[in-house]
Amino acid sequence: MPEWWKGACIYQIYPRSFNDTNADGIGDLPGITEKLDYISGLGVDGIWISPFFTSPMKDFGYDVSNYRDIDPMFGTLSDFKTLLTHAHDLNLKIIIDLVLSHTSDQHPWFTEKPEYYVWADPKPDMFGERVPPNNWVSVFGGSAWTWHEEHQQYYLHNFLKEQPDLNFHEPCVQAETLDIAKFWLELGVDGFRLDVVNFYFHDQELRDNPPRDETLGAATQFEGDDPYSTQTHIYDKSRPENLEFIKKLRALMDQYDSRFTIGEIGDDHPYERASEYTDPGLLNTCYNPQMMSGKHKPLTAELIQNPIENILKEDGWPSWAFSNHDVVRAASRWDKNGDGFTQDPKLSKMLIALLGCLYGTTFLYQGEELGLPEAKLEFDDLQDPWGKHLWPEWQGRDGCRTPIPWTSAPPKKSWLPMPETHLPLNIESQDKDTQSVLNFTREFLPWRKQQNALKSGTIHFHESSNDILILERRCETQNLLCAFNLTDTENQLPPMLPHCETTAFPQSENPPAQALKPYEFWIAEIKHP
């Protein structure tokens, strides 16, 4: 069975913000279909589409009320089938976001099948007060338990109170979720990105989580006063029973040709979990957030090298991204001279090349090919419930979710405002500019597809300063040396690098002198003796 995902580059689409074809201010599935030629022209291998299922949109699609239909704001099931057919005609794989850990509280199950959810009696309290059954907290703040008056019990929600957790200890829940996966596999999707895949099971004894070990650092990307980061999360996620269910899901996937599973894991021990969840018979790969986490972590050689080497120690096929719909855009996060809401095109180009040279499957978030920076928003503009909760310390996730600028004119209506900093970076203008980030991406990614060393070769890091990252990709037919200046100042290359005579990528120097200019990179063939 061909493992097409190994070495692939997958383009992530956040459908609300991608392309709006009916002028209602929200992107839609016909909008994705309309731009498939654009996506194919980037040189990617597939598309991951964030949730488009029927939903009340309390968490913008990650609160599902019908797993087998499309929310009307995005279109119809027929629209999705059209999208799938056209994508496959262009040799693009389609990965959909499957949110199985929890549903919306407006899903019919919550009323009609309460046994599908996690319920618990109040904990006895010496003062006669009603208190939650344990100390678990929600990722989005507050207790992970909400009292349900009609049911006269608490229900568990690891995220919003409108997102009650499913009880995977119940065989009927496992059967139901496997049937949902089968529904989409039968339609022809090429795989699933499994949202918070390690959250499916909870400790049945409902034991309290212990205080957090300070050496673990923050438990979420928010580094301020975060209740979720006060606990070591032993009992509310990453339970051993979860692996048995993943085996059942993988067995279902293997009944179809070349289907792909990637799990999103948020855990106190990410490398161990990623290795555990990608053992034979489990997931194909895990979506590793180590290069996206933390708003204030500078771009250094260590930041890139350490996660890759840690993953390789644990074995398994990794996946990497610099940006997605949940984090500050990389063009802002790592711009040392910017105000956090502008971008340096040299940095954006270097990041595209760096991502493409890493070992594993890579994910490019919509707008990265344009070098879009984070959008600066006012409180009244915010839609993200997490951002509203953490304001003003953090504006939440909306800054990376604003609409894609297709032209220089802002849309007449949009669910989030189009930032002025994005309009000059519009696709129509970048298409005509031979030096744009967009046209760089269109050159680099197709070139990368032809490099066996970058698709499937091993990776080896050379010693250098923390400002310069030097790695080698090797396979039987090719040996590439890749050097990246991660800063906005000129930096010296270390001595005694392997001898290179032939530049592999056309926009690299041939070869550089003894230094790399700001955000310059170099990819060259190593000469064998």
Residue of 63, 71, 162, 195 marked catalytic? 195
Burial label, 466 (beta-carbon count in 10 A; 0-12, 13-18, 19+): middle
Collapsing DSSP states into helix, strand and coil, what is residue 365?
strand
Q: Supply 42's token pair.
A: 């980037």
Cα angle: 25, vertex 29, 35; to 5 degrees: 90
> What is the C-alpha to C-alpha distance for residues 51 and 53, in angstroms, rounded to an integer?
6
Determine phi and psi for 101, rounding to 5 degrees: -65, -35
Whether 264 is catalytic: yes
Phi-psi region of 436 (alpha: psi -120 to 50; beta: other; left: phi over 0): beta
Distance CA 57, CA 59 (A): 5
* DSSP conformation class of 102: B
Exactly one of 20, 79, 97, 264 is catalytic; name it: 264
Tell me, yes or no, if 195 is annotated catalytic. Answer: yes
Residue 459 β-bridge partners: 473
Are 392 and 506 in contact, with CB atoms under 8 Å apart?
no
CA 139, CA 102: separation in Å to the nearest integer?
A: 13
Length of the chain in residues, anyone?
A: 529
- Give yes or no for a contact between 133 and 197, defined as CB atoms under 8 angstroms apart: no
Q: Dihedrals φ, ψ of 495, to 5°?
A: -75, 170
Contact at 8 Å (CB) between 258 and 2? Answer: yes
Q: Hey, what's the torsion of the CAs at 157, 61, 411, 21, to 10 degrees? A: -170
Place of tokens 């597939």: 46
Tokens representing 383 are 């839609």
Which amino acid, 169? H
The C-alpha atoms of residue 350 and residue 211 are separated, in whole angstroms, by: 41
Pair of tokens at residue 440: 């760089």
- Residues 6+ positions from 86 with CB-CB distance below 8 Å: 33, 36
Radius of gyration of the chain from Cα atoms?
A: 23
SS3 assignment, position 90: coil
Helix extents (H) in 357-467: 385-390, 427-432, 437-449, 452-456
Query: Which residues does the annotation mark as catalytic?
Result: 195, 264
